[in-house]
Structure 1
Amino acid sequence: MEILEWIQHWFKENADGEWEKGDAIQITTLDDPLGWDVEIDISNTSIANLDIKWILNENGKQDWYGVKIQNKRFRAAGDAKKLTFLLGLFREMIEKIENE
């Protein structure tokens, strides 16, 4: 299943009448450096209690991404070509925990 289809399915599966009324999934842009910022409320998921400090992987100004989980929120940011990759990181974490 392609990542957008998966996110849509995951969103629908987690909707409980309250969670989706807030900022359940936010995708915004960054201007300095140019890129994407993804923030997802994971308070009702199996990874809600994880705490991962910011991890930055940088190969240059136009090839970077970072990820963290804190306060029951998944947060990832990356360069302008990394949106699909960032959503994929979230999917990977969810699927890994669910399959353990």
Structure 2
Amino acid sequence: MDALTRLQQWYLDQCDEDWEHSCGVTITTLDNPGWNIEIDLAGTKLEGKALEPIHYGMFEDAETSGSEWIFCKVADNKFSAAGGPQKLEEIINEFLKWAAA
């Protein structure tokens, strides 16, 4: 099963006629270019679960190309992630891996 299908199933599993009215999954683009994802964790089994931030291609590891990077963290009861323009599937997979652990 691919990452998008698995994310869709995770979202559907959270829908309880309440959660989906105030929470959800947001995927947007960045202007550098890249992707940004926020996934609400409130009211899910993941609420309060810690995540050691995941990142590469940033900070001291940054390359001049600017497209090979990813950053994932949990803060304020949200999984927040961003990455280069071809990193959307990798970001989703990082979320799914963390969610399943």
TM range (shorter): 0.7 to 0.9
5+ long unaligned stretches in structure 1: none
What is the rounded CA distance, in whole Å, between the counterparts of 1:23 and 1:46 in structure 2? 14
Match of 1:86 among 77, 84, 91: 91
Q: Percent identity among equivalent residues? A: 29
**Higher share of residues assigned strand:** 1
Q: Deviation per CA, 1:36-92: give whole Å up to 9, x if none.
A: 000000112332113447543115211101011011100000000000000001100
Counterpart in 1 of 2:68?
63
Contact residue 50 and residue 70 of structure 1 kept, 8 A: no
> 2:16 corresponds to which letter in structure 1?
D
Count of matched residue positions in the alignment of Structure 1 and Structure 2: 95
Give 3-state SS (helix, strand or coil) of 2:16's partner.
Answer: coil
Point out where structure 2 has 5 or more consecutive residues left out of the alignment: none
How far, CA to CA, are the matches of 1:80 and 1:67 in structure 2? 15
| 1:8 partnered with 2:4 | no
Greater alpha carbon shift after TM alignment, 50-59 vs 79-88: 50-59
1:2-81 correspondence runs (5 A): 2-31=2-31, 33-52=32-51, 54-58=53-57, 59-60=62-63, 61-81=66-86
- Relative to structure 2, which stretch is displaced further, 41-50 or 67-76? 41-50
Q: Once superposed, what is the RMSD of the aligned Cα atoms?
A: 1.6
TM-score normalised per structure 1: 0.85
For 2:69, what is the secondary structure of its paired residue?
Answer: strand
Query: Runs ≥4 in structure 1, deviation > 2 angstroms?
Result: 44-47, 50-56
Range with greater deviation from structure 2 (8-17 or 41-50): 41-50
